[in-house]
């Protein structure tokens, strides 16, 4: 079975692609979406982070794809977004709404650019362990704004825990718009506590279908990716408990991520 992890973080100093690929092999991973390191203040540092991630992905472009982690409110970020998607082969963009709401008029030129570039975006949604008191900006309902930019496709990470029902409501809203394609997806990366995880995934599958959900681990590289291996087993067991077919499991483990974030370049 192909397994794609749509949610992997990077820290400084990544050079050893071979070790990362070995760890992926141990976990049975086909491909990973690797986010560049977050930079909240400097355009220049953001670009350096993108180039680090590109260097890593270039070592195995069929197995490692970049997500450019960008802060849209920094001046000049539009040009860097264009460079990331058009020249640096990033598969998509990662965004945390950092003390701004997606509905603010100042963001409209940014969404217009994302629409023009037909960007796939992975949003952090849900409670946020960082960014000071930033969780409220990450409620999924604010992403309804994106229905005005139909070429954007986006995923809501962590099933938006604790706003899992709100996440599904946004899914239903975007499905109803049509636009003509259904723009939204759900990244099942943990965040949901054990007591609710099975029900949250069952609810999401029942309301949206497996075609809208994708596997992610929130792993950090460089590391031995042990957490990723454990999560493949844990989520796989949960999918079995839910009585999913092999084809449905393959869709959750890889098909949806391949559809939203296909390799570029």
Smaller CB separation from Zn ion, 58 or 218: 218
Token duo for residue 256: 């949806």
Alpha carbon separation from 226 to 31, 198, 220 (Å, rounded): 16, 22, 10
The distance of closest approach from Cβ of residue 247 to Zn ion in the complex, given in angstroms and rounded to an integer, is 28
Asked if 112 touches Zn ion (CB under 5 A), the answer is: no
Complex with Zn ion: residue 8 or 244, whichever CB lies closer? 8
CB of 141 to Zn ion, least distance (A): 20
Contacts of 92 (CB under 8 A, 6+ apart): 33, 67, 68, 85, 119, 120, 121, 122, 260, 261
Cβ-based nearer residue to Zn ion, 112 or 218: 218
Residue 184 to residue 43: CA distance in whole angstroms: 28
Q: Which is nearer to Zn ion, 10 or 183 (CB)?
A: 10
Subset of residues 126 to 145 that bind Zn ion, contact rule: CB under 5 A: none
Q: Pick from 89, 211, 218, 259: which binds Zn ion (CB under 5 A)?
A: 218
Nearer to Zn ion, 113 or 155 (CB): 155
- Within 10 angstroms of residue 198's Cβ, the number of other Cβ atoms is 14
Question: Count of CB atoms within 10 A of residue 226's CB?
Answer: 12
32, 36, 183 from 39: Cα distances, Å: 21, 9, 27
Q: Minimum CB separation from Zn ion for residue 9, in Å?
A: 6
Give least dist CB 257 to Zn ion, A.
Answer: 15
Binding range to Zn ion, per CB under 5 A, among 87-95, 178-186, 214-222, 236-244: 214-222
Give dist(CA 174, CA 183) in Å, integer.
Answer: 6
How crowded is residue 179: how many other Cβ atoms within 10 Å of its Cβ?
17
Q: Tell me the number of residues near Zn ion by CB under 5 A.
A: 1
The residue range among 114-122, 190-198, 213-221, 256-264 that interacts with Zn ion, by the rule CB under 5 A, is 213-221
Q: Which residues bind Zn ion (CB under 5 A)?
A: 218
């Amino acid at each position: 079975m192909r397994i794609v992890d749509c949610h992997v973080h990077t820290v400084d100093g990544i050079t050893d692609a071979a070790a990362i690929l070995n760890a992926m092999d141990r976990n049975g991973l086909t491909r990973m979406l690797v986010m560049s390191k977050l930079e909240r203040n400097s355009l220049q540092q953001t670009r350096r982070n993108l180039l680090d991630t590109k260097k890593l992905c270039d070592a195995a472009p069929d197995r490692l794809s970049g997500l450019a982690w960008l802060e849209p409110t920094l001046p000049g970020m539009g040009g860097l977004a264009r460079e990331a998607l058009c020249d640096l082969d990033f598969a998509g963009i990662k965004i945390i709404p950092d003390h701004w709401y997606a509905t603010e008029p100042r963001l409209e030129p940014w969404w217009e650019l994302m629409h023009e570039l037909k960007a796939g975006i992975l949003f952090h949604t849900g409670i946020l362990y960082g960014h000071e008191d930033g969780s409220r900006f990450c409620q999924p309902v604010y992403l309804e704004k994106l229905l005005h930019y139909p070429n954007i496709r986006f995923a809501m990470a962590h099933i938006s825990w604790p706003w899992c029902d709100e996440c599904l409501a946004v899914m239903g809203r975007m499905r109803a718009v049509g636009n003509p394609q259904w723009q939204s997806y759900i990244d099942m990366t943990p965040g949901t506590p054990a007591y609710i995880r099975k029900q949250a995934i069952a609810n999401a599958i029942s309301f949206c279908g497996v075609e809208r959900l994708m596997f992610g681990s929130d792993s950090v590289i460089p590391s031995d990716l042990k957490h990723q291996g454990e999560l493949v087993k844990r989520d796989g067991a949960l999918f079995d408990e839910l009585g999913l077919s092999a084809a449905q499991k393959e869709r959750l483990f890889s098909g949806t991520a391949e559809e939203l974030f296909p390799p570029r370049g």
